[in-house]
Amino acid sequence: MQRSFNRASAFGRRPSSFGSRKPGSRPVRSSRGGFQGQRIDPTRFVKKAVITEQVEVFVPEHKFADFNVDTRLKTNITRKGYVEPTPIQDKTIPHILRGSDLVGIANTGTGKTAAFLIPLINKVLLNPQENVLIVVPTRELAIQIDDELRGFALGMRMFSVCCVGGASIGYQISNLRRQHNFIIGTPGRIKDLMERRFINLARFKTVVLDEADRMLDMGFIKDMRTMMAAMPKERHTLFFSATITREIEGLINEFLRTPVRISVKTQDTAKNVDQDIVRVNNGKGKLQVLEELLAQPGFNKVLIFGRTKHGVERLYNTLVTSGFKAESIHGDKNHARRQKALKSFKENHIQILIATDVAARGLDIPDVSHVINYDLPATYDDYVHRIGRTGRANKTGKALTFIE
């Protein structure tokens, strides 16, 4: 079968819509007033996976057994299969146990969740009156962290409430009336529950701001400031981000006091993600090229990213009509349908998940064979996070970006 696309070993002439702005440059608008996003050189979407016989091996300073935490917590850590910490865990856990404010900078998929959950669970065990707030940008990430917390805190009679938009606020209010030490949620829903007087952040002396750069990108800065202003000035603040921009530095200076800074970010994208572009020729449409790709051997578990909610849903309907097993996730889908779609994809009941950037950060989905950028990401940072959904747990993944 003749293919209607060329891989990027020979780029030819670059499309006129691309330039060579630096990764940190701001999104731009076209002369017609439409949003184009950051101008990204297409060559940045091409990078072969680095597979070598000898690789630099990280040697942690600690084992999980070495950390000064409760023996019950150590038992649960072992039960979950954790033996040696990842770099972000190895470097941050001792500082969090000491109660230091902390800024953690790490690539996606490096184990940040366990890095803050383990010491904070131990903190609650030492003081059952301690209350912890964990704020994240998306409901999927909040639910994932809540599930992780339940695993680490198994058998300890420690409870959490997950407060996210799109889910029943009545159910969340009911849970908030019960004993709990952790609230995990998204900024908008937490602020809503504060205004309804079901959350009193004056009782919370520990806060985690996870994926802070994404929360900033999504316009949650006012909600973040409202929450932080409602908390005691003497508090323990943990701030995790994959990138540090001038705006992020401003938030660090605003929210934290002389924080310890830990950075284990070594590169923009994982070495084991094989990155390439798919050039769509005039002879065939973009959709036809995609369907031919998805029909090829090896495209077993594919995460496709689109720019808009309507575009994602339209592509989902088209692929299902063509006979593909697919689901979609975007902001217009209610909580239950989003969770059902994500569960089906994680458990390999479907081949394809089509999503907006709500699925680009933090989600741990095993064995994604391919990430396809059907629509270009708005920024290079968004690209980095999108392709971080594959090539995880030392496996090789593939990322393809469509160029028209």
26 and 74 in a single domain? The answer is no
Rg of the Cα atoms in the chain: 22
Confidence of residue 182 (pLDDT cuts 50, 70, 90): very high
Picking from 263, 285, 317, the residue at the C-terminal end of a domain is: 263
36 and 73 in a single domain? The answer is no
In angstroms, the CA 141 to CA 210 distance is 10
pTM for this model (two decimals): 0.72
221 and 72 in a single domain? The answer is yes
Containing structural domain, residue 332: 5-51+272-403
The total of structural domains in the chain comes to 2
Q: Write down the pLDDT at residue 206.
A: 98
157 and 91 in a single domain? The answer is yes
| Residue 5 phi, psi (nearest 5) | -145, 155
161 and 215 in a single domain? The answer is yes
Flag whether 212 is in a domain.
Answer: yes
Q: For the chain, how many residues are written?
A: 404
H/E segment holding residue 329: strand 326-329
| Residue 251: strand, helix, or coil | helix
16 and 112 in a single domain? The answer is no
276 and 257 in a single domain? The answer is no
Q: Write down the pLDDT at residue 108.
A: 65
97 and 245 in a single domain? The answer is yes
User: Other CB atoms closer than 10 Å to residue 27's CB: what's the count?
Assistant: 12
| Residue 160 phi, psi (nearest 5) | -135, 160
314 and 237 in a single domain? The answer is no
Flag whether 113 is in a domain.
Answer: yes
Q: Write down the pLDDT at residue 253.
A: 95
Flag whether 57 is in a domain.
Answer: no
Per-residue pLDDT of 18-53, as tens digits, reads 333 333 344 444 433 344 566 777 777 787 765 443
In angstroms, the CA 205 to CA 231 distance is 7
Check residues 375 and 266 and name the one with the higher pLDDT. Answer: 375
Domain harbouring 385, CATH code? 3.40.50.300
Q: What is the DSSP letter of 394?
A: T
Picking from 263, 289, 324, the residue at the C-terminal end of a domain is: 263
| Residue 113: strand, helix, or coil | helix
Confidence of residue 54 (pLDDT cuts 50, 70, 90): very low
130 and 256 in a single domain? The answer is yes
| Residue 166 phi, psi (nearest 5) | 85, -15
375 and 283 in a single domain? The answer is yes
